A and B are shown apart, each in its own frame.
Chain A
């Protein structure tokens, strides 16, 4: 099996993230899968940025800790990444700007001194085109035809005019030829060959998958305020607003965005907003309003490391309880946490169906790791989920008698009441944040209040049937079961595969439907021999929920809250240790002395 990890590192502002995508696409168009992940600090220029591209013949959905080829755009990148090289890996650097003579390069690691700036300039380019030279050089080492990269350059930069395309192609060729002429590429152990007639895979981020899923679901109104790591949802939706006839509004604040989507949903269109934790704080009041007025809204919460400003560009799963309990009062909401791109695309569509059928707020939980990772998917993994709008009334009814109002909050067996939209004759009613009678007028009548609470809560009976059980990964019969949710699916599943290959009887349960908990999921938990909770937070928030609702207990935990997600290697090591009784509760932390924010070593 061919697998390969490429990493480019340097300071922010030099197009590192974009070059990872271009490099990855060379391969996803010719038969391979890729996972692309960027790590970066919260600044525009400077600091340290990296983009990792992992290539494989099989589906890959998480980054790993060991690099096979590093492109170092400065000395810091060489020093930061050289401890994480595979045995016969290589580092491409430019001795003209990085004097690395004082560094102790690990034995076996090959150095490729490529004058990246000079070769870029020779092509008519500048500093920004060092990446292109480096990609050309990397392809030469891999034995991959540079023409596939040229095709992507033509498509990507084509609209900017011919000159920029020619310069980039020439820069890539310069890098490619330079390696070929100066080094014996046959000594580089990683080789790839394009697979003829392979279907091009789709390369998308979690945020793009959520956005495209929303478009597939017929979202017509989207309002948001920028906040990392959710901003790219706003960007994507805005870029598509004419193509798919969607009104996309960058609002004055998070509160406006949330209230606007409630107004739009009330008027009958599928509506969504997106934000991160800080913005979600401001939306909370209107989430309760959506619940009380039974207005269907979809809110994407892409978590970052908290509390407060926290680590703005790093990841965590610590907003689960916040999302579940957001807003005052007891009420029903659904919280969904997709674990990969296909799930993000498909689950977003289901979120709209659930919101409309049950007239409730639905929250989609992502995080920086899922939102900003790119993974390749096969087109067939992305489904078109049939649209279900529940008891929406869009056709005129019998006009109401004078003084009367439509019973928008009618007591029904399933708790869901008919929902006419403005414009429909005979449906005049108030959507109300105040407790109300069936005819929508405000009330403080005790019995009616109780009946309304019960009506809204009763929706769970039907809804429960739609809550999907967790995915069981690995053998049915296992000594140990790892329990995870949302974005940590990919490192956990990968670790399980490896542990199973080593002959260990271990499996994993991954929950997408995290609230309310699916009954089948509780049964599956209870059927497991021993459980270990795996989460990207410090208090095992989901584990606590499972203790409360499923009555299960855990023999150990693998948690991480240093700003990074779990890597497959972390899960592999610690799950094995727990299985063998060597560890119990683990808090994973990266002890590397590297700090991205100021690009320095903290020793």
Chain B
């Protein structure tokens, strides 16, 4: 019997602020897991620390709430141990694009077969409102009271540059679209980055629901060709290049190439976790020391 959305539910009350975009991400992830026919015991949801880091607790699968920024390496270790698992990684814009950005670039180029959902609210939430790597230039926050000097990073453009094979963006104000994007990410064989634009009712007074509503449009409705890497790159920079007049969501780029675990002959006969370690034959290995 297929797992339903209810099977992915847990008893706990999510500890997020009222109106937080994370509630919608949670709903969409549960729906996407049910929609794609995933089982609770064969799914692992890994997170870092921050508001997004709480997410695995509210999804009844296996999970790992790890360290700030370290979502992807923890998820990578789990996936390589047992490639049969469906692995979802949850990050935030501070966690995933700040302290842990290095891992994103390398996980993209490895094409690790997992879905990385970044809860991108353009602010640090749990640490009570400091500028994040995706905060807009000039934004005044507790850590930038005189206005942010740096330009924001462009995670989608970065992922495309680093050869991620599924690069998408969704918005917490549109749950059906968000669900579909996450489901497509899960079904994609390879590394999927899903940047989820999200409101932060507590700390971000700039990127509000009204701000998003007037700017967001769906790439797929405009006939964007997601196999065109150059076009995808252009679209990934459209928000900043248009002075934030237009903020596209949807699938920017999609490609196929072998995943990291596909290229490991060590996994051909069995996943690492299913290999017998009680009968290691050292005779040949030790003889090499003679």
Asked if chains A and B come from one complex, the reply is: yes
Residues of A whose CB lies within 8 Å of any CB of B are 25, 28-29, 200-204, 208, 212, 215-218, 220-221, 223, 240-247, 249, 251-253, 255-271, 285-286, 289, 293, 379, 382, 384, 387, 394, 396, 400, 402-405, 421-434, 440-442
- Stretch from B79-87, B163-171, B241-249 contacting the other chain: B79-87
| Across-interface contacts of A266 in B (CB, < 8 A) | 64, 74, 77-78
Chain A residues near B269 (CB, 8 Å)? 245
Q: In whole Å, how far is A551's beta carbon from the nearest beta carbon of chain B?
A: 38
* B78 & A422 in contact (Cβ 8 Å cutoff): yes
Could you list some 28 contacts between A and B, CB below 8 A?
A202-B286, A215-B280, A216-B282, A220-B81, A220-B272, A220-B275, A221-B81, A223-B77, A256-B70, A259-B67, A260-B73, A260-B77, A263-B77, A264-B80, A269-B81, A382-B282, A384-B282, A422-B85, A423-B42, A427-B41, A427-B62, A428-B61, A428-B62, A429-B62, A430-B62, A430-B63, A431-B63, A432-B57
Determine if B85 and A267 form an interchain contact, defined as CB atoms under 8 angstroms apart: yes
Out of B43, B49, B275, B285, name the residue touching A215 (CB < 8 Å): B285
In this complex, what residue of B is CB-closest to A431? B64
B interface, over-half SS? mixed
When the two chains form the complex, which single residue of A245, A263, A421, A442 contacts B75, counting CB atoms closer than 8 Å?
A263
Q: Apart from A247-B81, A422-B62, what are 4 other A-B pairs with CB-CB below 8 Å? A: A242-B265, A245-B272, A251-B106, A422-B42
Contacts of A442 in B (CB 8 A): 15, 54, 57, 65
CA distance A286 to B64 in the complex (A): 13
Asked if B286 and A382 make an inter-chain contact with CB atoms under 8 angstroms apart, the answer reads yes
Given contact pairs A203-B289, A423-B85, A260 touches B76 in the complex (Cβ within 8 A): yes
From B56, B79, B273, give the contact of A430 (CB < 8 A). Answer: B56
A268→B54 contact, CB < 8 A? no
Chain A residues near B265 (CB-CB < 8 A):
242
Q: Which residues of A contact B77 (CB under 8 A)?
A: 221, 223, 259-267, 271
With an 8 A cutoff between CB atoms, is B144 at the interface?
no
Contact of B44 among A257, A405, A422 (CB under 8 A): A422
- The answer to whether A433 and B65 touch across the interface, beta carbons within 8 angstroms, is yes
Beyond A204-B289, A216-B282, A242-B265, whether A249 also contacts B40 by CB under 8 A is: no
| CB proximity to A under 8 Å, residues B117-157 | none
Chain A hits for B277, CB < 8 A: 217-218, 220, 270, 387
Report if B290 contacts A (CB, 8 A).
yes
Looking at the complex, which one of A216, A247, A252, A286 makes contact with B272 (CB distance below 8 Å)?
Answer: A247
**In the complex, are the beta carbons of A267 and B70 less than 8 A apart?**
no
Distance to closest chain A CB from B157 (angstroms)? 20
User: Given the complex of chains A and B, what is the CA–CA distance between A544 and B42 in angstroms?
Assistant: 49
Contacts A245-B272, A428-B62; A402 near B9 (Cβ below 8 A) = yes
Q: Are B102 and A267 in contact (CB under 8 A)?
A: no
B267 contacts the other chain (Cβ, under 8 Å)?
yes
Q: Is B214 an interface residue (CB 8 A)?
A: no
Tell me how far the C-beta of B46 lies from the nearest C-beta in chain A, rounded to whole angstroms: 7
Interface bits B1-24 vs A (CB < 8 Å: 1, else 0): 000001101111001000000000
A280 to B: closest C-beta gap in Å = 16
Known: A202-B286, A244-B285, A404-B11. A263 touches B73 (CB 8 A): yes
Nearest A-chain residue to B100, judged by Cβ: A255
Minimum CB–CB distance from A580 to chain B (whole Å) comes to 42
Which of A256, A403, A430 interacts with B64 by CB under 8 Å? A430
